[in-house]
Amino acid sequence: MPDLVLPRPESTPAAGPLDGRFWDLIEANFRDLVQKHPILATYIGLHDADDRLDDGTRDALVQEIADAHRMEREIEAIDPAGLSESVRLERELALHNTRRELFDLEVHRVWERRSTALDQVGDALFSVFARDHAPLAQRLESLTARLEGVPKLLEQHRTRATAPQVRLWQELELDSGEQMPFLFNEIKAAGAGVLDERAQARLDKAVETASASVAAYLLTIKGAMGSTVESWALGSEAYDQLVGLRAFDGLDASQILEVGYQQLALNKAARVEDARRIDPSVDEPTVVDRVKSNHPATFDEALAAYQDAMMRARAHIVEHDIATLPPGERISVIPTPEYLRTVVPFAAYFEPGKFDKNPSGIYIVTPSVGNDPNAMREHNYASISNTSVHEAYPGHHLQLSAAVRHPSLVRLLTDAPEFVEGWGMYSEQMMREQGFDAGPEFLLALHTDAIWRACRIVLDVRMHRGELSVEEATSFLVEHTSFEHANAQAEVFRYTYTPTYQLSYLLGKVLLLALRADEQRRLGDRFSLKGFHDSLLRNGSIPISFQRRLLAAEAAAGIAAGS
């Protein structure tokens, strides 16, 4: 992508002599990254390679590890004394990112213990198919080329499996494979009336060949299930290392676990009070059942309800001056694609592509897992409101739409779920504080969801320390949340390969509330809720410990300017 003009933040308070060298390094690495990873390039809105797939071989992963080590050395070699204050922080953040990447690649090593080829295929196709960055005919041409590359990609991924494969993870890959034809056929059907006869014939053939290669790939996985292992837990030592790398404002794993148990107790007590406010004449389970029973009759009606709740929340933000909405932000709400439903049992959000000309967020909602007849109970009206606040306004869509506007490529590539997911959960509480859907049934849904996220903290720590099995974790989740078993099990399956991600939701909310309280104490009458929110949104998706430092720097700059 030689013509790509990359953004570069201004140095503050004044440029340092090594600032340019640092950004030259970051930009060279970024160009190499998007060249080697066309699926990532598509996701962030660079579409020159929408017709290509990544190199899925083990050799490519080994090279990625070597590249990450080289990047770490080159960043460390830049003397921070020669950098401006703002770029010193970017350097530390770049080191944070690189060391997190190296942990995933060298320590956790999911890539060699789990077949993930079909996840990669799904991501490669969905990111082109679902977004309207180009006319459909043009996107279908790219999709056809990517489908033609599927057989080669599946063969490449087989070279990664040099370590024993984890049985549960292979079963998840088999589930993904069974759902993949739904995505292939959706793409094929989209060509009708859009493509000419020759292009449609090429697409049809690509779908047929890709489907056959997926079927053969699944047979290979099934044939090797006898040699799989049961162990997936990270282990206490590696888990502690990962928690340290995540920069959780100084908290260690045991302290985080304690936060989980505290939040579980607090939110359970709050839900008891919510139930009493709704109907003091019956017990809490009866009230919860009543709230869950108040749901749309069909999934189509539920989608309309999600859209309505989302737009009402957006209007409330504007009317109550809660945060600044980025100009031109867009979002669409669609059913979760079939191939994702076993790993997204409720809802999820896909952020706008930074480099897309007309970026749009995508909010997906899952009808059911395994055709569960009770699934609509999870789409009750109170939950729809809470989920829409979390996923759309002022949650993920607002936050990520603002984040992609920051010019730093370092921040674009930062993985900080305790801020991103924490912001979503913080938004749930903050919007009730600001009067949006603040009735007891909505608070009951809020505290029900917080109980679920408190369980995630407990399960994340205890599962990866090797203290709980999948079955025990599923039972724990059902016991404390009353989730339908299929939904709870789908949740727990995902926890097995995402250590420290699931605890990020509620832990992030706790850390953000602490940060807000600190800012209120510091500023007193000068504290502005909108100003606090806009600062966080403007800073991008970075760890809360880095957000804290930036707020302190803003305060110091303000004091200096006023003196």
Judge whether 146 and 52 are in contact, CB under 8 Å: yes
Residue whose C-alpha is closest to residue 146's, from 129, 133, 158, 132:
129
Judge whether 304 and 295 are in contact, CB under 8 Å: no
Q: Is the pLDDT of residue 41 over 60?
A: yes
Cβ density class 388-404: b for 16+ within 10 Å, e for less: bbbbbbbbbbbbbbbbb
DSSP classification of residue 386: H
Judge whether 125 and 153 are in contact, CB under 8 Å: no
Q: Is the pLDDT of residue 563 over 50?
A: no
Cβ density class 41-65: b for 16+ within 10 Å, e for less: bbbbbbbebbbbbbbbbbeebeebe
Task: Retrieve residue 297's tokens.
Answer: 């009759």
Q: What are phi and psi of 109, to 5 degrees?
A: 55, 40
**pLDDT for the residue numbered 345:** 61
Task: Retrieve residue 525's tokens.
Answer: 């009458």
The pTM for the full model equals: 0.92
371 pLDDT tier (thresholds 50, 70, 90): low
Taking the C-alpha atoms of residue 76 and residue 95, their distance in angstroms, rounded to an integer, is 8
**pLDDT for the residue numbered 559:** 56
| pLDDT tens sequence across 511-551 | 999 999 999 999 999 999 999 999 999 999 999 999 999 99
User: Rg (Cα) of the chain, in Å, rounded?
Assistant: 24
Taking the C-alpha atoms of residue 293 and residue 287, their distance in angstroms, rounded to an integer, is 10
| pLDDT tens sequence across 477-510 | 999 987 778 878 988 999 999 999 999 999 999 9
Query: Distances from the Cα of 90 to the Cαs of 15, 82, 186, 409, in angstroms?
Result: 13, 13, 42, 9
Rounded to an integer, the average pLDDT of 90-101 is 98
**pLDDT for the residue numbered 561:** 47
Q: Is the pLDDT of residue 25 over 90?
A: yes
Taking the C-alpha atoms of residue 476 and residue 451, their distance in angstroms, rounded to an integer, is 12
DSSP classification of residue 378: G
333 SS3 class: strand
| pLDDT tens sequence across 131-158 | 888 999 999 999 999 999 999 999 999 9
